[in-house]
Amino acid sequence: MNNSMNRKMKVSKLNLSLVAILTVSCFSLSLTTEVQANASASKKAQEKAAPIVDVEMKCHVELMGGGEVIRFTNTPYRSVKKLTEILLTQKVRLNSTDSPRAIYKVKECVPLKDKFKSSRAQQLFQNTPQ
């Protein structure tokens, strides 16, 4: 009987040890997950808080009724798609006596210091007063 009782006590101690190990492991895993989530949230908050800096862009655009021009713009949008959407709502004059015309198509946009890919845009850019 004494042997049986000793065996039960050892099994109970072993069970308690396993429960303690599992509890510590779960707590550690939970804490690790929480720290990673907080780090991710902190990184997202920093990205949102970063100041928006205007980017100088030049765009080769086609106008309603014909004509092509280089349109210069400062924009906080790095996405060409977003910039294109905005440009398509604007009007441009070919010269000072011309009435404003809507932008029909945005053919290419690049940062001001970069070179256009199309030779037509490069030619227009060289002929555009700055």
List the helix and strand counts (H, then E) for the chain.
Answer: 3, 4
Position 84 scores a pLDDT of 87
pLDDT in tens, the chain (130 residues): 556 665 656 545 544 454 445 444 444 444 444 545 455 555 555 556 556 677 889 999 999 988 999 999 888 866 778 888 889 999 988 778 888 999 999 999 999 999 999 999 999 999 988 7
pLDDT value at residue 33: 45
Cα separation, 82 vs 75, whole angstroms: 10
Structural tokens at position 115 = 């070179």
What is the distance of C-alpha 104 from the center of its chain?
A: 27
Measuring CA to CA, which residue among 118, 24, 124, 31 is closest to residue 72? 124
pTM of this structure: 0.58
109: which residues sit within 8 A by CB, 6+ positions away?
57, 58, 59, 60, 80, 83, 84, 87
